[in-house]
Amino acid sequence: MEREMGADPFFAAASEEDTIAAISTAMSEAGIGIIRISGPAAAAIGSKLYRSPEDMKQGTRQNIGDWTPGTIRYGYITDADGQIIDEVMLSWMKAPHTYTTRDTVEINTHGGLYVMERVLGLVLEAGARLAEPGEFTKQAFLGGRIDLSRAEAVMDLIGAGSEYARRTSMAQLRGALSDRVKDLRARILYETAFIESALDDPENFDLEGYPDRLRGILTEEIRELEDLLIHARDGRILQDGIRTVILGRPNAGKSSLLNLLAGEERAIVTDIPGTTRDVLRERIRLGNLALVVSDTAGIRTTEDLIEEMGVRRAREAARKADLLLWILDAAQPLTEEDRQIGALVRDCVKEGIRCIVLLNKQDLDVCLYEEDIRAMEEAADLPLTLLSFSARNGEGRETLEETIRTLFHAGSGYSHNEALLTAARHREAAQEALEALRLVVQSIDAGLSEDFYTIDMMTAYRALGRILGESVEDDLVEEIFSRFCMGK
Amino acid sequence: MPERKDYHIAADVCVIGAGHAGCEAALACSRLGFETVIFTMNTDSIAMMPCNPHIGGSSKGHLVREIDALGGEMGRNIDKTFLQSKMLNRSKGPAVHSLRAQADKAEYSRSMRRVLEAQDHLTIRQAEVTELLTEGDPARICGVRIHTGTVYDCRIAIICTGTYLNARCLVGESITETGPGGMQRSTHLSDSLQALGIPLRRYKTGTPARMDGRSIDYSKMQIQKGDEEVVPFSFSTDLQSLQDVDQMPCWLTYTNEETHAVIRANLDRSPIYAGIIEGTGPRYCPSIEDKVVKFAEKTRHQVFIEPEGRYTNEVYVDGMSSSMPDDVQQRMYRTVPGLENCVIVKNAYAIEYDCLNANLLKLSLESRAVSGLFCAGQFNGSSGYEEAAAQGLIAGINACNKLRGREPLILKRSEAYIGVLIDDLVTRDNTEPYRMMTSRAEYRLLLRQDNADLRLTKYGYQCGLIDEERYQKLVRKQEQIEAEVRRLKEVRIGAAAQTQKILEELGTAPVKTACSLAELLCRPELHYDDLLPLDPDRQSLSSLPADVREQVEITVKYEGYIERQKRQVVQFEKMENRRLPENVDYLSLEGLRLEAQQKLQKARPASIGQASRLSGVTPADTAVLLIYLDKLRRQNKT
């Protein structure tokens, strides 16, 4: 029965030997930012990138690890070709006397957001891994830098039972929604208990006609969860930006659209393969909203997301999106490819993803009209917004931006706060609950007996419990530290 | 005065009590080669069934099969002595199918006694154990003393006193100081336990009347027959050997408003409602008085008349346990259709007894206070023969593990109903006799009665209770199942006209395109055996045994559900595998709430998972423990 702790996959996942890096000041247009590198390779990575003014003259490099710990020096960050990316102040702190208890290099940049991201990109290329949210603090905790009483401040975030529910995680969804989750959960529990009672005591609990009754109850629960997920999405969107995927067949005008939207403000975020987080490539400001257009490299280089990624990958990207911009060449009749995209759009919209259809190339002879789209079998009855558009001369741009703002309107009462950061995890939990309840309905429809229902009902129950802090699961330590801002 | 010299007899293990727990414990220890003595108040009460005359039933049937897979005796014994056998809940999913057999009580007891008598290294001793002898600090068992003064030296004592300790039986105002079935009770052991600092609590349970079968009018009742094809409890019993048993019927009748009126009018004479009984009774096995009070809106309750044996007239009136006075019983039973002229042989009675709060035990069933002291069965606050036997077997196995310096066998909630049973007893707050129920098992689609052998035989084999032959048979079975499931997934049949015709004959929809046999088997209306005419290879395969075919069908048919439940188990086991060190000082652990500190300090859970199931430990406290463990791990590394 002896178990080896080291074999626990959780511990393995802590990957304490990694060197991690992130921008540890708030992402903003302000000129100065700090990139923190923490872990055994921090000095080596810093040494690869840093050159003092003398080094620049003499073509030398230095080993930061040889510096006196606590030193801060002026110099440059250069790329592989020796090009100066930014003037920086670089500091070196040696383990364990650092915040994270690991070797730490901090690069103070002042070249603005774009430069900061370039520098981070170089750091990652040099061997660091992008830090997960809260991971620096996690290193600090695991290194014994923060004790449990300090971690108690953290505990407030996950808190106890009802207190937790009142004060924390659901703040992102606001109190009324917390009550809704509780209510959904209580109903699942009640029905589960009923089934269990009937299985143990058939004499006193009758299951005659029960599956139909349960189907009705669950259908209502599913509807409420779907609704809740849409709200959760709104909250996250304000925080992180609208995940946007541009769909369209070759030459429909995808990259023109992107360039039009991005304009001069284009900010390129690093694109390092192997980082586990979404690769965000274009962040486009739209008033107080931001569009995060993913996989634009594919769009830019080949003009064709579908071709480049294959239908399967396009589907994956679209499924994770908040917004689809489906661009059609209005100067051409619909093709089979358009219909394929239409089918994908249909699946996504049914899951609550919003879609704007752009009839592009209004500057040419138009032969495709709104009615043609609505008449497509794939688009039938979908709540699509259709706009006339010309990526070439900018016609319809303002209407598009206005439409996006309306679809994701900021006035829905959600505000930035710390708890919002975990929205993604909670959204996942709600999604899991939703899928589990759909499986119960499938079981009912397939004529399975009641004892099968409770399997998926309990999955839904526990998933919702995670939102309320009433089920604690093994990945809790990860959870706690993921509540910190990225880079803290 | 001359110094009195105790007479000493040497043993390894002393088992106190020869009921269902004691028999399994003693057999396990002696079979593993340890010199074992089993004490009973009366050798005629070995494996006695003082209450219901059946073994198994919902969730209890699972326990019996698990006992069997681990190398216990109960399954084999009921297979030798059953009067009727029935697989319950066949209309539901396989998770809740449950085997139940009516036993010939006298034969069950005799048969188990013969097994004990034939067992090497096992001695049966009729005596009352009056004292547990310990040495050292902290205390460890070094012997037991019996009423004659004789001492049995031993390193392990296993208490399986059932309902005998300081028992008293109540029939209304009539109270007798006896154990179950009129047996002599034991009295001194309670004092000995208290002296060792082990507090006891008082529970009660009850049993209905036994009647003379000749006085019953069965024409007013519905007959309840056994299954035509009998399924054995034991995985080692030959199926064919059971098919010729002449099964005896049970009978169904109902109480009515008149019955309930008699009871209501006399509630003040029920010892429970009159406050004479101090013990807490089981909610899930209520007396007829309780049912009438708690389900006031119900106009009738089921009553089953069950035979007590093949060579006795006595029948058991299932569903009407009571502690009412005799005169009320006489009138009450006679209101039931078919029982108008019933003649009572034995009164229904309630029994009160001393038992342990199992929170004082480790999951191995060893006492946390006294090393070498194991406890099992109804003494631990459970109810039912099967629950008792399961604990007895585990206590016996773990006693041997201790003697051999091995880690204890602790079955997880995700592995066995036995794991659920023991974890519930040891971890949760229980305030009434604990009865096994399917709803207590979270992962019951995986813990089916049909796959108990596949789940647990390996443990029985590891500890030495399952022999090589039986284990190899199990391994072969496992291989056959896997191979056949793989084959069903690979073999594809086309949409030929001949195929469609067969499908139509089977009452199922035609196939649109080629599909695998496994996909077809997923249709609710199709069974493995139905696929024979569609299966190109099956005729040439030497036909698989019925138990393999059953596993194949369940594995394929419910694959999605099984997979999902397995995912739940993965999540669950992560928390179970986070072991908490034994020496944590919870009182100094910052961040825990006071209540949790105290609860944890007392309960000393083995894992985060077990801690999270303690009442008074909130999710936030669990979180603190997780963080604590993580930090501890870091410190140990540096």
Q: Which residues of B touch A146 (CB under 8 A)?
A: none
Nearest CA distance, B600 vs chain A (angstrom): 17
Q: Which residues of A touch B628 (CB under 8 A)?
A: 148
Per-residue pLDDT for B447 more than 90? yes
How far lies A238's CA from each of A51, A233, A413, B327, in Å?
39, 9, 10, 77
Between CA B586 and CA B596, with CA B592 as vertex, the angle to 5 degrees is: 70
* Closest A-chain CA to B291: A204
Q: What is the pLDDT of residue A142?
A: 65
- Write out pLDDT tens, residues B36-71: 999 999 999 999 999 999 999 999 999 999 999 999
Superfamily of domain A160-238+415-468 in the CATH hierarchy: tRNA modification GTPase MnmE domain 2 (1.20.120.430)
Looking at residues B388-404, what average pLDDT do you find?
98
- CB-CB under 8 Å, B301 with A160: no
Helix (H) or strand (E) holding A235: helix A210-240
Buried (b) or exposed (e) across A374-393, using 16+ Cβ within 10 A?
Answer: eebebbeebebebbbbbbee
- CB-CB under 8 Å, A155 with B624: yes
Per-residue pLDDT for A441 more than 90? yes
Structural domain boundaries of chain B?
A: 8-203+353-463, 210-352, 483-561, 578-637
Portion 128-167 of A in contact with B at CB < 8 A: 141-144, 148-149, 151-152, 155, 158-161, 163-164
What count of residues does chain A have?
A: 488
Q: Which residues of B touch A205 (CB under 8 A)?
A: none
Site from B318, B597, B631, B637 to mutate, A interface, most A CB atoms within 10 angstroms = B631
d(CA A236, CA A242): 8
Q: Which region among A37-51, A383-397, B455-469, B518-532 has the lowest average model confidence (pLDDT)?
A: A383-397
- Write out pLDDT tens, residues B198-245: 999 999 999 999 999 999 999 999 999 999 999 999 999 998 889 899
Q: Read off the pLDDT band of A274 (50, 70, 90).
A: very low
d(CA A336, CA B489): 35
- CB-CB under 8 Å, A203 with B561: no
Q: Which of A7-21, A328-342, B105-119: highest mean pLDDT? A: B105-119
Portion 348-407 of A in contact with B at CB < 8 A: none
Higher pLDDT, A292 or B326: B326
- CB-CB under 8 Å, A10 with B439: no
Q: Which residues of B touch A447 (CB under 8 A)?
A: 524
Q: Which region among A22-31, A175-184, A253-262, B363-372 has the lowest average model confidence (pLDDT)?
A: A22-31
Q: Which region among A69-83, A223-237, B102-116, B252-266 has the lowest average model confidence (pLDDT)?
A: A223-237
Question: Could you say which architecture CATH assigns to the domain A5-133?
Answer: 2-Layer Sandwich (3.30)
Say if residues B312 and B165 touch (Cβ distance below 8 Å): no
Per-residue pLDDT for A488 more than 50? no
Portion 192-251 of A in contact with B at CB < 8 A: 196-197, 199-201, 203-204
Looking at residues B560-587, what average pLDDT do you find?
91
- CB-CB under 8 Å, A197 with B623: no
Question: Could you say which architecture CATH assigns to the domain B8-203+353-463?
Answer: 3-Layer(bba) Sandwich (3.50)
Which residues make Cβ contacts (< 8 Å) with residue A364, sequence separation at least 6?
Answer: A330, A331
Q: Read off the pLDDT band of B588 (50, 70, 90).
A: confident
Say if residues B344 and B329 touch (Cβ distance below 8 Å): yes
* Secondary structure (3-state) at A127: coil
Does B509 lie at the interface with A, CB-CB under 8 angstroms?
Answer: no
Portion 451-490 of B in contact with A at CB < 8 A: none
Q: Which of A80-89, A458-467, B306-315: highest mean pLDDT? A: B306-315
Nearest CA distance, A411 vs chain B (angstrom): 34
Per DSSP, B33 falls in state: T
Q: Which residues of B touch A161 (CB under 8 A)?
A: 618-620
- CB-CB under 8 Å, A476 with B93: no
Q: Which residues of B touch A164 (CB under 8 A)?
A: 619-620
Does B592 lie at the interface with A, CB-CB under 8 angstroms?
Answer: no
Query: What percentage of residues in chain B have a pLDDT greater than 70?
Result: 98
Q: What is the pLDDT of residue A305?
A: 47
Q: Read off the pLDDT band of A14 (50, 70, 90).
A: very low
- Could you say which of B298, B590, B635 has the minimum Cβ distance to residue A149? B590
Say if residues B171 and B129 touch (Cβ distance below 8 Å): no
* Closest B-chain CA to A148: B590
Does B95 lie at the interface with A, CB-CB under 8 angstroms?
Answer: yes
Q: Which residues of A touch B622 (CB under 8 A)?
A: 472, 476
- CB-CB under 8 Å, B630 with A155: no
- Could you say which of A148, A204, A448 has the minimum Cβ distance to residue B295? A204
Say if residues A426 and A232 touch (Cβ distance below 8 Å): yes
Instruction: Give A61-66 contacts, CB < 8 A, sequence gap 24+.
Output: A64/A90, A64/A92, A64/A105, A65/A92, A65/A103
- Could you say which of B59, B298, B590 has the minimum Cβ distance to residue A148? B590
User: Which amino acid, one-letter code, is at A341?
Assistant: I
* Closest A-chain CA to B95: A451
- Could you say which of A151, A200, A459 has the minimum Cβ distance to residue B438? A200
Looking at residues A411-435, what average pLDDT do you find?
57
How far lies A231's CA from each of A158, A219, A238, A324, A433, in Å?
22, 19, 11, 18, 16
Nearest CA distance, A450 vs chain B (angstrom): 7
Q: What is the pLDDT of residue B625?
A: 86
* Closest B-chain CA to A1: B407
Looking at residues B143-168, what average pLDDT do you find?
97
Q: Read off the pLDDT band of A297 (50, 70, 90).
A: very low
pTM: 0.76
Higher pLDDT, B556 or A267: B556
Looking at residues A336-363, what average pLDDT do you find?
85
Task: Look up residue A365 and give its two tokens.
Answer: 């002879």
Q: Read off the pLDDT band of A4 (50, 70, 90).
A: very low
Q: Read off the pLDDT band of A16 (50, 70, 90).
A: very low
Looking at residues B254-259, what average pLDDT do you find?
97
Fold of the domain spanning B578-637: DNA polymerase; domain 1 (1.10.150)
Q: What is the pLDDT of residue A146?
A: 57
Q: Which of A460-464, A471-475, B24-28: highest mean pLDDT? A: B24-28
Q: What is the pLDDT of residue A177?
A: 60
- CB-CB under 8 Å, A450 with B558: no
Q: Which residue has the tokens 């905790």?
A: A141
Q: What is the pLDDT of residue B326?
A: 96
Nearest CA distance, A135 vs chain B (angstrom): 15
Site from A455, A456, A471, A477 to mutate, B interface, most B CB atoms within 10 angstroms = A455
* Secondary structure (3-state) at B456: helix
Q: Which residue has the tokens 């704007």?
A: A356
Does B394 lie at the interface with A, CB-CB under 8 angstroms?
Answer: no
Per-residue pLDDT for B591 more than 60? yes
Question: Could you say which architecture CATH assigns to the domain B483-561?
Answer: Orthogonal Bundle (1.10)
User: Which amino acid, one-letter code, is at A251?
Assistant: N
- CB-CB under 8 Å, B524 with A448: yes
Portion 267-296 of B in contact with A at CB < 8 A: 284, 295
Buried (b) or exposed (e) across A110-147, using 16+ Cβ within 10 A?
Answer: ebbbebbbbbbbbbbebbbbbbbbbbbbbbbbbbebbe
Does A5 lie at the interface with B, CB-CB under 8 angstroms?
Answer: yes
- CB-CB under 8 Å, B438 with A1: no
Q: Read off the pLDDT band of A409 (50, 70, 90).
A: low
Q: What is the CA radius of gyration of chain A?
A: 26
Query: What percentage of residues in chain A have a pLDDT greater than 70?
Result: 66
Residue A333 exposure: Cα atoms within 13 Å on the Cβ side: 1
- CB-CB under 8 Å, A455 with B442: no
Per-residue pLDDT for B507 more than 80? yes
- CB-CB under 8 Å, A473 with B575: yes
- CB-CB under 8 Å, B91 with A11: no
- CB-CB under 8 Å, A446 with B631: no
Give the number of other Cβ atoms within 10 Å of residue B115's Cβ: 18
Nearest CA distance, B388 vs chain A (angstrom): 20
Does B578 lie at the interface with A, CB-CB under 8 angstroms?
Answer: yes
Options 3.10.180.10, 3.40.50.2300, 3.40.50.300, 2.40.50.140; CATH of A242-321+323-407:
3.40.50.300
- Rounded to the nearest integer, the mean pLDDT of chain B is 93
Site from B301, B436, B584, B590 to mutate, A interface, most A CB atoms within 10 angstroms = B590
Q: What is the pLDDT of residue A233?
A: 62
Structural domain boundaries of chain A?
A: 5-133, 160-238+415-468, 242-321+323-407
Per-residue pLDDT for A225 more than 50? yes
Per-residue pLDDT for B124 more than 90? yes
Question: Could you say which architecture CATH assigns to the domain B210-352?
Answer: Beta Barrel (2.40)
Q: Which residues of B touch A456 (CB under 8 A)?
A: 564
Give the number of other Cβ atoms within 10 Å of residue B531's Cβ: 20
Task: Look up residue A467 and give its two tokens.
Answer: 């939102």
Does A96 lie at the interface with B, CB-CB under 8 angstroms?
Answer: no
Say if residues A488 and A134 touch (Cβ distance below 8 Å): yes
- Write out pLDDT tens, residues A140-165: 766 666 544 344 344 333 332 223 33
- CB-CB under 8 Å, A5 with B564: no
Per-residue pLDDT for A28 more than 50? no
